[in-house]
Amino acid sequence: MTVKYNVFVFDPYWDGERKYKQIISEHNMFNLVYDIENADIAISYGGDGTLLEMVSMLYQSGDISTTLVAGLNKGTVGFMANDMDETDFIDRVLNTIYNTKYVTERTLFQVYTDNKLNTLSLNEISIHPVKRGKLFVCDVCVSIPSMDIKDEHITYKGDGIIVSTSSGSTAYNLSTGGPILTPCSGRVIISPICPFSLADRSIVLPSDTEVVITPESEAEVVVDGTSKCITLRKISVKSHHDKLLLYKRDNFLKTIQEKLGWNHSIK
């Protein structure tokens, strides 16, 4: 009996023509399903925000590491979603069962508040003061087993702090002046938001880094652009043992040049 693969499509914000139903139905190895927990392949129509929303749904539904995720860019920028014709995109994603050349493994962060696992993050966790307009102070405790570093404390003062994955380096991290990393490098980036000291800068750390953030005042925890909770206690961030399987066809260096407007005259 032929094994069939289940395909889930998430397109809540796009009003354009949808060809995927016909394309998927014409392949005898695939079924279109409407429940993400049964999906072998999960496809989003929209920008990176839509893809992040689908990844959150996938995490809540069960095992996130066994489903291939792919985004068709219908948004503005799109560093994770693909800029392709819909028919070509669907055909190529379905063909990943034969050719995994463009399937990349992306690091996920585990996010704990009050010592409980709240969620996973593909891009970043940002910590902000609930009461805006006042100096926000937080203690950041860093442990890196591979470098024999344990409980090294750094104090950040400013408007907040971002802990970003390599995939998220081109998101909120970039807007704060943080570095761009290749998305599969698996690093951890800590970036201050509008720091009080001009000497404060982003720092790139190894994949086994664990970051524990303790705010001095009430703080809002935002994961991949979505507010998750308000806390006065510790927020712990570290790499998850599983990776996200992401279909991304574009050349990364070409993508950042085009998306960020490099090599263009300022005139």
pLDDT confidence of residue 266: 64
Whether domain 108-240 has CATH 2.60.200.30: the reply is: yes
**3-state secondary structure labels for all residues of the chain:** CCCCEEEEEECCCCCCCCCHHHHHHCCCCEEEECCHHHCCEEEEEECHHHHHHHHHHHHHHCCCCCCEEEEEECCCCCCCCECCCHHHHHHHHHHHHCCCCCEEEEEEEEEEECCEEEEEECCEEEEEECCCCCCEEEEEEEEEHHHCEEEEEEEEEECEEEEECCHHHHCHHHHCCCCCCCCCCCCEEEEEECCCCCCCCCEEECCCCEEEEEECCCEEEEECCEEEEEECCCEEEEEEEEEEEEECCCCHHHHHHHHCCCCCCCC
pLDDT for the residue 267: 63
What does the domain layout of the chain look like in residue ranges?
5-102+248-259, 108-240
Residue 2 pLDDT > 70: no
Q: Tell me if domain 5-102+248-259 and domain 108-240 are identical in fold.
A: no
Residue 41 and residue 194: Cα distance in Å, rounded? 39
pLDDT: which is higher, 227 or 191: 191
pTM over 0.85: yes
Residue 78, token pair as written in the block:
């799109």
pLDDT above 60: residue 236: yes
pLDDT(125) > 80: yes
Percent of the chain scoring above 90 in pLDDT: 73
Per-residue pLDDT at 69: 97
Q: Is 48 noted as a catalytic residue in this protein?
A: yes
Looking at residue 198, its pLDDT comes to: 86
5-102+248-259: CATH number: 3.40.50.10330
Q: How far apart are CA 88 and CA 83, in angstroms?
A: 10
Q: Which candidate in 11, 15, 48, 148 is catalytic?
A: 48
